[in-house]
Each structure stands twice: as structure tokens, then as C-alpha cells.
Amino acid sequence: AALLGVIGLLIMFISLFIAFRIPLAFYVLIASLAAMHILTISNDKKMHEEINPKNHIVRLIISLVIIGLALLGMYKL
């Protein structure tokens, strides 16, 4: 759970650099979101011995919105 907190802080920190159009920030944001998804699925499996897909689908939709907003901020699409 502590690693999820660190990844959450990394996502918030990297999001600050999207406004400055630093390309590496976009790739780190995608990698951090992917790591967050992997860790939450793993954590869900360990704690509840099964995966609840509703939580992960909602998290995926929110992550896609974040990536879309980051794309708009980076490349002014």
C-alpha cells in the first residue's frame, strides 16, 4: 500500500510538468498509471482473493481521461 502512495505522489508531481510540455513527463505519467493499475490489481488479489472488475474499470476510465487531458496539455490537439 505504501508503494501505491508513492506512485500517486509521482503521478501528481509529474502532472506539474505537463504544462511545461516536457515530453518525458508524459511517458513517466503513462508508466506511473500503468504501475498503479498493476499494483492495485495485485493488492486486490492479495487482500480479497479475487478481483473486483468494477473498481478497476472505473480506475481505467479515469486514467484514460487523465491521459487525454495530458495529451491536450502537451500537444494542444
Write the pLDDT tens digit of every residue in 27-70: 999 999 999 999 999 998 988 888 889 989 999 999 999 999 99
Cell numbers placing 40: 492495485
Sorted by where each begins, the domain ranges of the chain are 2-75
Amino acid of residue 2: A
9-38: per-residue pLDDT in tens?
999 999 888 888 888 999 999 999 999 999
User: End-to-end distance of the chain based on CA atoms, in angstroms?
Assistant: 36
Indicate the DSSP class of residue 27: H
**Is residue 56 classed exposed, middle or buried when 0-12, 13-18 and 19+ CB atoms within 10 A define those classes?**
middle
CA 46 to chain centroid, in Å, comes to 20
